[in-house]
Amino acid sequence: MERFDILIAGAGVTGCMIARELSRYQLTVCLLDKANDVATGATKANSGIVHGGFDPEPDTLKAKLNVEGSEMMEQVAKELGVKYKRNGSLVIGFNEEDEKSFDYYVGPSAKEEQEVIRPNTILSIIFGLFKELFALLFG
């Protein structure tokens, strides 16, 4: 029977990144998944967007790791030879109450990197996207 130092359950993006990191050490690692291939579960359903780090409940481990993971992506993509572009995220508020809720979504760990912008700035961001726009799907 083969023995391993580490068993990683789940071959989605998180499990694969853990295995990648552990490959730097003198360990035998087994990456195990219920499917017959990697990235077939929630990772497969991802639209390709790297989470910006906001949204989880503030001051939680998830909030901290979301920010750290997002910050790691550019270097990891470079090391793996994968194209990567940090697009950012846009949360829209329709009134003052919505704007107040931004504090919840941003959280203290990412707040310094976020800014609240006003309609004319939003329009210039949106129109700036049109330079690269190829198609839109509306339904």
Provide the token pair at 58: 């503030």
Least confident residue range of 29-33, 59-63, 80-84: 59-63
Q: Does 86 lie in the same domain as 35? A: no
- The residue among 30 and 55 whose pLDDT is bigger is 30
Q: Does 81 lie in the same domain as 112? A: yes
Q: Is 51 among the residues known to form the active site?
A: yes
Average pLDDT on 41-45 reads 81
pLDDT digits over 113-125, tens only?
666 777 777 777 7
Q: Does 100 lie in the same domain as 115? A: yes
CB 107 within 8 A of CB 88: no
Q: Does 19 lie in the same domain as 59? A: no
- The residue among 136 and 125 whose pLDDT is bigger is 125
Q: Which pLDDT band holds residue 11 (cuts at 50, 70, 90)? A: very high
Q: Does 63 lie in the same domain as 130? A: yes
Which residue blocks in 3-138 are alpha helix, DSSP H?
Answer: 13-22, 42-45, 61-80, 96-110, 119-129
Q: Which residues pair with 29 in a beta bridge?
A: 6
Q: How many domains does the chain have?
A: 2
Q: Does 85 lie in the same domain as 37? A: no
Is the pTM of the predicted complex or chain greater than 0.85?
no
- Cα torsion 43, 44, 48, 54: sign: negative
Q: Does 110 lie in the same domain as 62? A: yes
Q: Does 5 lie in the same domain as 62? A: no
Domain range for 139? 52-139
Q: Which pLDDT band holds residue 94 (cuts at 50, 70, 90)? A: confident
* H or E element, residue 9: strand 6-9
CB 79 within 8 A of CB 24: no
Q: Does 39 lie in the same domain as 20? A: yes
Q: Which of 12, 14, 29, 51 is catalytic?
A: 51
Q: Does 137 lie in the same domain as 83? A: yes
For the cut 70, the answer to whether the pLDDT of residue 69 exceeds it is yes
Position 132 scores a pLDDT of 65
Least confident residue range of 10-19, 42-51, 61-70: 42-51
The neighbour count for residue 29, using CB atoms within 10 Å, is 16
Position 22 scores a pLDDT of 97
Q: Does 31 lie in the same domain as 64? A: no
Q: Does 29 lie in the same domain as 59? A: no
- Cα torsion 108, 98, 51, 74: sign: negative
Backbone angles phi, psi at 6, to 5 degrees: -135, 135
